[in-house]
Amino acid sequence: MAVAMELRCWGGGWGLPSVHTESLIVLAYAKFSGAKVTVSPIDWTWKTLTATVPELLCADSAVQEPTHILSFLRKQRFNADHELTARQGADTMAYIALLEEKLRPALLHTFWVDAENYANLTRPWFASHSPFPLNFFVPSRHANTALSRILLTKGEAPLHRISEVEGKIYSDAKECLNLLSYRLGSANYFFGNLPTSLDAFVFGFVAPLYKASLPSSPLQSHLKQLDNLTRFCDTILTVYFSSDHPCKISCPPPLVQETMDANLQKLTQLVNKESNLIEKMDDNLRSSPQHKPHRPDLKHSLANEKSSTPA
């Protein structure tokens, strides 16, 4: 009997199963590998501040960060990378490192530092999904963390202020998107007819930029000119998330808001907690047992999709 697994993550919005890049990565990989995961959104709970998401709970184990969670799922025989060659495994690591170095800083700036986007999209969404009084605190905390991370990774001499860094991070991001588009070509996925962990990472990074209604984003405009990347996102949403809702995997009834008074101390306990950089893919990329991976029935899924489409 399979062990029950619960995934805690930010909920859906903007036509996506989650608005959170790391959560999207794990949700997509769970779909690709056939892992049976119960999704528990942290929206409306005190975990909007105290939880490190995504977090996978399985028996006595609690696993955080996408790379660790994907490695854990592989050890449970949910391995979307089972058919990759050694060269493709190396390419996967290289492209994930590229996403982290070139695209993440621009995404952080787009959603959390750009004043217009933050005021009109990002802050209202996260505030509306956090309980009082955290709705006043959570968005600004994320924004400060994003700014610090950009300056920490990109604010090298002579670029010390965010206004001096902007040009470089957006130039790097456009270059990254161009490379991804070139590598994808006319294929549906990066390595053949079935998606792998690289597809999950690219989807997690690119889909929010593609789907969010950003009032100001030259980077989004650039992405929408790369038709194969936008088609890539649409294909995954159609095939694996046809309901555009994270509970498609398996979701319990909405959580009741926890008692606030019992958690007030949590406001100060984690204020100074820094966000860790996502680690590069570890040595377990191809270390799972040699069993045929659990795969969702794509033909059956596509047949249902066609039969449900009105004439």
pLDDT digits (tens, 9 = 90+) for 183-235: 999 999 999 889 999 999 999 999 999 999 999 889 999 999 999 999 999 99
Q: List the domain boundaries for the chain.
A: 5-241
Q: What is the pLDDT of residue 76?
A: 87
pLDDT digits (tens, 9 = 90+) for 67-124: 999 999 998 889 999 889 999 999 999 999 999 999 999 999 999 999 999 999 999 9
First to last CA, the chain: 41
Q: Is 18 left (phi over 0), alpha (psi -120 to 50) or beta?
A: beta
Cis peptide before 131 (omega within 30 of 0): no
Q: What is the pLDDT of residue 243?
A: 59
CA distance 65 to 29: 13
Q: What single-letter amino acid sits at 63?
A: V
Q: What single-letter amino acid sits at 126?
A: F
Mean pLDDT of 33-43: 88
Computed over every residue of the chain, the mean pLDDT equals 78
Mean pLDDT of 254-281: 37
The CATH number of 5-241 is which of 1.20.1050.130, 3.40.50.150, 1.10.20.10, 3.40.50.2300? 1.20.1050.130
Confidence of residue 150 (pLDDT cuts 50, 70, 90): confident
Contacts of 167 (CB under 8 A, 6+ apart): none
Mean pLDDT of 254-268: 37
